[in-house]
Amino acid sequence: MKVETPFEWPEEAEFVVCTVSNVKNFGAFVTLDEYDGKEGFIHVAEVSSGWIKYIRDYVREGQKVVCKVLRVDREKGHIDLSLKAVNEHQRREKIQEWKNEQKAENLLAITAERIGLTADAAWEAFGYDLLRTFGTLYRAFEESAMDERALEEEGFKGPWIKAFTEVAKENIVPPSVTIDGYIEATDYAPDGALHIKEALLKGGKEDGKVSVRVQYIGAPRYRLVVEAPDYKTAEEEIQKASARVLKALEAKGGQGKFHRKE
């Protein structure tokens, strides 16, 4: 008897990618792409919020759709879905997540091949555990691409980690955000321009994860541009960078003020 994993059935309120398999006047039958082709049903009332004259104006066989899970009855094998409960932003976000997971599954297969396992064996050995820990397999690859110790810090052990991390670094571009602000800097001393230049150099940073660049706008304004993995880190780094510049500027008798652009 096959033992089901927690990943074989969707949760209520979850967004799922489906392929329309059969359209009737009363609704549409679909297969859930992420759940081993399990069948779901979209009642005609859940297809669109408006009045529907011809259901095929909204769904057709072979179409990819994103639905929200309304109810799941494992005993009967029923999955009730809603198409109208998904807005455009949610649809785009889910499709991107689904594409990322497809890519991650391919990368897991590459990892498995490098360490002499089948893809199924890799899933059993560490794939499902990564899914539980990181939420998605793609996120596990993403974290590994940004930090080669990411898996070990989450308690994972084994010779597969080296291959997994190598595959991640070869194939995943870590996410990043960019923010900026500007500094007004003045120094009226004879060599004030040199003081300002030296102070601005204190703001720059490049460590692989965070980049802080200083750009000339037009005296007395100079832009700080920060690229970081997330907004929280970026905000912290731009504040630190501006503080370094202002401290160096004031130490030589100059003045400055930082303005954060929203």
What's the pLDDT score for residue 7?
66
Mean pLDDT of 32-43: 94
What's the pLDDT score for residue 8?
85
The pLDDT tens digits for 222-245 are: 999 999 888 889 999 999 999 999
Spatial CA neighbour of 247 closest among 183, 189, 188: 183
Give 1's pLDDT tier (boundaries 50, 70, 90): very low
Domain boundary assignment for the chain: 15-86, 89-171, 177-260
Helices (H), the chain: 88-114, 119-122, 128-134, 137-146, 150-153, 160-171, 192-201, 231-251
DSSP annotation of 232: H
CA distance 186 to 184: 7
The CATH fold of domain 177-260:
Alpha-Beta Plaits (3.30.70)
The pLDDT tens digits for 142-193 are: 999 988 899 999 999 999 999 999 999 999 987 788 999 999 999 999 998 9
What's the pLDDT score for residue 130?
96
Range 15-86 has CATH code 2.40.50.140: yes
What's the pLDDT score for residue 4?
41
Asked if pLDDT for residue 116 goes beyond 80, the answer is: yes
> Is this model's pTM higher than 0.85 or not?
no
CA distance 27 to 96: 26
Asked if pLDDT for residue 26 goes beyond 70, the answer is: yes
> Is residue 26 a contact partner of residue 43, using CB atoms and an 8 Å limit?
yes
What's the pLDDT score for residue 19?
97
What's the pLDDT score for residue 262?
52
Mean pLDDT of 60-70: 98
**Topology alike, domains 15-86 and 89-171:** no
Torsion angles phi and psi, residue 56, rounded to 5: -70, -10
Spatial CA neighbour of 47 closest among 62, 28, 61: 28
In sequence order, the 6+-apart residues with CB closer than 8 A to the CB of 170 are none
Range 89-171 has CATH code 1.10.150.190: yes
Give 2's pLDDT tier (boundaries 50, 70, 90): very low
Torsion angles phi and psi, residue 73, rounded to 5: -120, 100
